[in-house]
């Protein structure tokens, strides 16, 4: 895609309803681009090794004295970057993934048809509606290898509470998951990195210091879905262990095959919010993409430990350079539209 003459800002945001043609920024933070120029055409790439919010200007800004030029600005940290030689675009891409990680291999079933809808798990009789989907696939001879289980299975009222099974919607989670496995359909369960203030596990997480907070240790409360909550701090080793335990006991032990790591942009707006940063606390705003990367890695490690002989399958909406080592991704939530 030719991005000449455009300006882009990289900061992970939940850009629900975005325009593929004009919206910026979006969900991911990958400060890397490829230039193809010259006769004969040759390519090179530049990768800025930063986790900070940043921006690229590919010639949108003009100067009467300098003509068109490109610029890069990062809001924090040092200026570290790699110039990646080609000469082909394919060679630049290969060397970029040598640096940041090769894409994870999918299990075979990850290539098949996957169903998903919010309406089933938001229904009051969600388990019955999910059973109807299996019956419809069989009736119409539709091969389905997986189903992305949206977060309605965790609801209390209209809100989402990660790792909580709504027993009114799903009276028997184990039987529900077993019915899908018997039909050859793997479940990919939605999980989110925020605990709402009234989450049943919020008090435990706060007492153990698992949440992003201010210098005094109070959780940094943020707007999230229909409530207010705090992000888990994935730069704290204790949080990583807790998360892997929850993924295992709340999902994998029931037979859920994979995780759908969602709403993980870590839209942290408070300058007072601090992340543990593995024993070296720093402002949380400076390394939001790292939180996302560590979340997906923790989910992958839990899945790999649970079924060591299987290739783990994960999906993540947000991400950073290196996310390809752990997850697949998708383009986010946008209304369908055809453009000519």
Domain containing residue 318: CATH number: 3.20.20.80
57 & 154 share domain: no
69 & 158 share domain: no
52 & 195 share domain: no
- Note the pLDDT of residue 36: 94
- Give the CA distances from residue 306 to residues 175, 187, 251, 256, in Å, rounded to whole numbers and listed in that order: 19, 15, 11, 11
33 & 171 share domain: no
Of the candidates 129, 135, 137, 136, the residue with the CA atom closest to the CA atom of residue 113:
137
Give domain status of residue 148, yes or no: yes
Give domain status of residue 167, yes or no: yes
Give domain status of residue 261, yes or no: yes
Q: Tokens for 9? A: 């800002």
- Note the pLDDT of residue 334: 73
Strand partners, 196: 229
- Note the pLDDT of residue 337: 59
Question: Residue 23 belongs to a domain with what CATH number?
Answer: 2.60.40.1760
- Note the pLDDT of residue 336: 63
142 & 243 share domain: yes
- What does DSSP assign to residue 49? -
Give the pLDDT means over successive 10-residue stretches in the chain (340 positions): 88 86 89 93 97 94 84 93 96 97 95 95 97 97 97 95 97 98 98 98 97 93 92 98 98 98 94 96 95 98 97 97 96 66
Give domain status of residue 334, yes or no: no
Q: How far apart are CA 133 and CA 127, in angstroms?
A: 10
Give domain status of residue 1, yes or no: no
205 & 290 share domain: yes
11 & 125 share domain: no
Give domain status of residue 335, yes or no: no
255 & 284 share domain: yes
The residue range of the domain holding 13 is 7-100
201 & 236 share domain: yes
Q: How far apart are CA 192 and CA 232, in angstroms?
A: 10
Domain end point (choices 55, 78, 100): 100
Domain end point (choices 100, 132, 153): 100
- Note the pLDDT of residue 339: 54
112 & 96 share domain: no
User: DSSP 3-state assignment of 238?
Assistant: helix
Give domain status of residue 279, yes or no: yes
Domain end point (choices 100, 134, 160): 100
| Residue in this structure with the two tokens 């977060």, named with its chain if needed | 151
Q: Using CA atoms in the order 223, 317, 33, 96, what is the torsion angle rounded to 10 degrees?
A: 130
253 & 201 share domain: yes
Of the candidates 266, 265, 197, the residue with the CA atom closest to the CA atom of residue 229:
197
- Note the pLDDT of residue 340: 52
Total domains, the chain: 2
Long-range contacts of 204-207 (CB under 8 A, 24+ apart): 205/230, 205/232, 205/242, 206/230
Cβ atoms within 10 Å of 2's Cβ, excluding its own: 7
39 & 171 share domain: no
Give domain status of residue 340, yes or no: no
């Amino acid at each position: 895609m030719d991005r000449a003459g455009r300006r882009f800002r990289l900061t992970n945001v939940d850009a629900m309803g975005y325009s593929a043609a004009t919206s910026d920024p979006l969900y991911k933070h990958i400060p890397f681009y490829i230039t193809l120029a010259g006769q004969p055409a040759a390519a090179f790439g530049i990768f800025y090794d930063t986790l900070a919010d940043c921006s690229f200007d590919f010639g949108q800004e003009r100067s009467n004295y300098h003509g068109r030029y490109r610029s890069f600005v990062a809001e924090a940290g040092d200026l570290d970057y790699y110039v990646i030689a080609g000469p082909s675009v394919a060679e630049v891409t290969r060397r970029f993934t040598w640096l940041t990680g090769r894409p994870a291999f999918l299990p075979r079933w990850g290539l098949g048809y996957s169903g998903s809808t919010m309406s089933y798990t938001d229904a009051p009789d969600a388990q019955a509606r999910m059973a109807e989907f299996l019956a419809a696939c069989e009736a119409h001879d539709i091969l389905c290898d997986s189903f992305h289980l949206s977060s309605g299975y965790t609801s209390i009222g209209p809100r989402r509470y990660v790792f909580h099974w709504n027993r009114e919607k799903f009276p028997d989670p184990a039987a529900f998951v077993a019915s899908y496995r018997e039909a050859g359909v793997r479940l990919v369960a939605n999980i989110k990195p925020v605990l709402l203030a009234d989450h049943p596990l919020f008090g435990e997480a706060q007492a153990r210091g698992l949440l992003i907070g201010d210098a005094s240790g109070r959780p940094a409360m943020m707007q999230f879905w229909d409530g207010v909550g705090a992000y888990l701090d994935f730069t704290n080793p204790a949080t990583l262990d807790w998360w892997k335990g929850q993924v295992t006991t709340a999902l994998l032990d029931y037979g859920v095959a994979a995780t759908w790591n969602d709403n993980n942009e870590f839209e942290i707006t408070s300058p007072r919010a601090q992340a543990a940063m593995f024993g070296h606390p720093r402002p949380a705003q400076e390394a939001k993409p790292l939180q996302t990367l560590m979340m997906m890695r923790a989910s992958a490690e839990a899945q790999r430990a649970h079924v060591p002989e299987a290739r783990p399958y994960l999906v993540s909406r947000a991400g950073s350079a290196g996310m390809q080592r752990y997850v697949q991704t998708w383009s986010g939530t946008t209304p369908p539209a055809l453009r000519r």
